[in-house]
Structures are given as structure tokens and as C-alpha cells.
Amino acid sequence: MGLFCNGFSLFVMVCSMAVVASGNFHQDFDLTWGDRRAKIFNGGQLLSLSLDKVSGSGFQSKKEYLFGRIDMQLKLVAGNSAGTVTAYYLSSQGPTHDEIDFEFLGNLSGDPYILHTNVFTQGKGNREQQFYLWFDPTRNFHTYSIIWNPQHIIFLVDSVPIRVFKNAESIGVPFPKSQPMRIYSSLWNADDWATRGGLVKTDWTKAPFNAYYRNFKANACTWSYGASSCGSKPSSAFSDGAWKTNELDAPSRRRLRWVQKYFMIYNYCTDLRRFPQGPPPECK
């Protein structure tokens, strides 16, 4: 952790330290819904969410963050997971909220999960990119990460970048940079749309469906009483090299191209039927 001081911005900032939290779920999260279907065990090192025909379940972080790197290991619902969605995301609150989404769309046994990503700014999303994964996400834990700084948002899977959303405020595209966000996750039934557009329904004879979480880590600026622990220059606060540069290095760019060439199955930027007048400005 690095100590740094700050000036004044829209809020009075404080001298503090960048928070590097390696998770204990009891300390870092609240179980928010599901009537005991969400559970923390192994001394706070493991969390599970469960879904049955009555209800799903979910949790949220105790802290709010404004910029940071968030890592979480997940093991997704195994077997016939059609109709289920495991959501893991950052979000602020209100009608003009910002949000950074991972959503894992379940499928029939033997068919791959779809990883659905989206970015909301000022309440507007519609920036979906979807991917198959290059492994079975139900057999072992894998790390899903979000790097969020004033220049870009990077989605990573096992430290492999799969998507970059750059700050394009210079051409009028809003970017999430002023609303602190909490971490949320939920396991819920979405069989009206999640699998093949809702054609495949949840098989409740396979319930309960369970997803597992471990090894949460936040190298991030926390937000409290209108002030960030990172002051007015968050990028300078972190020892993580990803915070010191605005661009991916050459090996990371190659991995990004590899994922987008072989595993991307939907990109809103190339959906001409959806955007007949041309793609949104950030795509150009």
C-alpha cells in the first residue's frame, strides 16, 4: 500500500492509503437476499449461492469503490444450468447508475456457458459483448477480474484480457468515473431469456443449483463520506503495474486479439441490424 496526499476536486479528499483487501467474506460482504441460500463457510474463505424454485440468492460488498482492480474466483453451476444466470458486477445506485457486468448464462449439459459483459454509464447500457470460455468453468475455480481506472475498463479471465472499454468522453460518450460502486453477485432464474433466448427453460428437477466463490481481492480506492481513499489521482496510488499505464502491453494485446477472434460470439459494435444508422460512437 502506498501513502499519498491529495488536493481538492468536487469533494474534499483525504490523505489515506490505497486499500488492498484479500478477502474474508465475513468481513467484506453482506448476504443480502435468498433466506439462507447464501452461505459463508471455511472461516470466511468460501461463499456459496444457491437457487431453487422458490428463490435465488445474492450478496454485496460492505464497501464502495471508485476505481480499482477487483478479482474474484468463481466456480459456476455444474451440469444442466440452462435458465440460470450467475451475475457478478460493480454497480452504483439510482436511475443514472453506472455498472460493469459479468453475467454467466447457463446452458444444457455439455453445451458451453456464455459470458455476457456490459457497461452502463449514466443509466444506459446496450454495450453487450458475449464470449465462450476456453475451459469448463464448472470444474474448477477461475479468476474473473475488472480493472477500472479513469482511462479504461478491462475485463479479464484468469488474467487474460477479453474486453477493453476506453474512456471516449472526448467524443461525447459518458464514462463511469464519478459514482462509487459496490460489488454485487447473485444467482437467479432467468429462463425467459438466458438460454437460447428463453427457448430452454430451467429444469427444476436438478435444483438446487449452486455457485461458489473464493479468493476475493480488491486493490482499489474505497469511498466513504464523500471522499476517496485514493484522493484525486487514483492511478498513482497502486503498486499494480496495470494502474501505471493507460494501455495493455504487447503480450496482453495479443491475448485480447486471440480471445476476440476465437471466442467472441456477439459484439454490439458489429450488429448492423440493431444499429442500422451505424454503430455507437465508441465503436468507431
Residues tagged active-site: 99, 103
CA nearest 127: which of 273, 269, 274?
Answer: 269
CA nearest 65: which of 139, 147, 9?
Answer: 147
Residue 239's φ and ψ, nearest 5 degrees, are -80, -20
Assess contact for 161 and 252: CB atoms under 8 A: yes
Amino acid at 113: Y
Assess contact for 163 and 155: CB atoms under 8 A: yes
Tell me the C-alpha distance between 103 and 105, whole Å: 6
Take residue 247 and report the three cell numbers written for it: 494501455
Q: Which residues contact 266 (CB under 8 A, 6 or more apart)?
A: 128, 129, 130
